[in-house]
Amino acid sequence: MASERILVVDDDSNICELLRLYLEKDGYEVAIANNGGEAVKMFQELSPDLMLLDIMLPVLDGWQVCREVRKFSDKPIIMLTAKGETFDKVLGFELGADDYVVKPFDAKEVMARIKAVLRRSGTAEKTDIKEVRFDKLVINLTNYELRVDGKKVDTPPKELELIYHLANNPNRVFTRDQLLDEVWGFDYYGDSRTVDVHVKRLREKLEGVSEKWELKTVWSVGYKFETKD
């Protein structure tokens, strides 16, 4: 199957090259446009599988590009912008954007969102679904979705990767350093408090949901996803 093609639209060459690096490393084909007029023309010529679209652009801004592209294509669009106000997000979705990432962003989060949007749109190659299920809990790493008691809960990618890793190894105790290595990666330079912060946020979303499992602290050691008979 041919690689998916991503059109990156941003007038900041550093951002374009950073995204190109991550995308090509994951096997995507990448095209780059530095202004809105060029973006619409390239979209028509290349018919990319997804467009990463900045809002503050010369010639045509991101809103105008999104509006023009939606006249002839329903391919996914993820907006990239320094603006984080609710109004901007609502406007983007009303114009047909599929997702929205606020600058400054983590490139790994953008990659996760690209994969999730492509899968939802049916564009990405079918792969084995990475999902674990427990009572009132579904953790899907393929679509990056967390469902608690039947409801989708907004969860940052790293939190979701952490709970998936723990729940996929029920009752196994992980030290903080192990979790940093296995979830964040060996090249991560943070400290163990990063794990504690993410666990705290997960607990706020998960505590009290079920009596059949628990995200548990093992004092002086680390954490585990404990299941109960």
pLDDT for the residue 81: 80
Q: Does any domain span residue 220?
A: yes
CATH number at residue 74: 3.40.50.2300
More reliable by pLDDT, 129 or 27: 27
- Euclidean distance between CA atoms 198 and 162, whole angstroms: 8
Q: Are residues 76 and 39 in the same domain?
A: yes
**Could you give the CA distance from residue 185 to residue 180 in angstroms, rounded to a whole number?**
6
What is the longest distance spanned by two Cα atoms in the chain? 62
Mean pLDDT computed over 125-134: 73
Mean pLDDT score, 52-68: 92
pLDDT at residue 126 is higher than 50? no
Task: Assess if residue 202 is contained within a domain.
Answer: yes
If asked whether residues 21 and 108 sit together in one domain, one would say yes
Cβ-based neighbour number of residue 133 at 10 Å: 11
Q: What is the mean pLDDT of residues 184-197?
A: 73
43 part of a folded domain: yes
Instruction: Confirm whether 166 is domain-assigned.
Output: yes
Tell which wins on pLDDT, 192 or 103: 103
Least confident of 53-57, 105-109, 184-188: 184-188
9 and 88 belong to one structural domain = yes
Closest CA to 116 of 151, 153, 141, 84: 141
Domain count, the chain: 2
pLDDT of 129 strictly over 60: yes
| Domain-located, residue 126 | no
Supply the pLDDT for residue 121: 72
The whole-chain average pLDDT of the chain stands at 87
Q: Are residues 163 and 182 in the same domain?
A: yes
14 in any annotated domain: yes
Domain range for 55: 5-121
What is the model's pLDDT at position 43? 95
Question: Could you tell me if 175 and 140 lie in one domain?
Answer: yes
What pTM value is reported for the model? 0.54
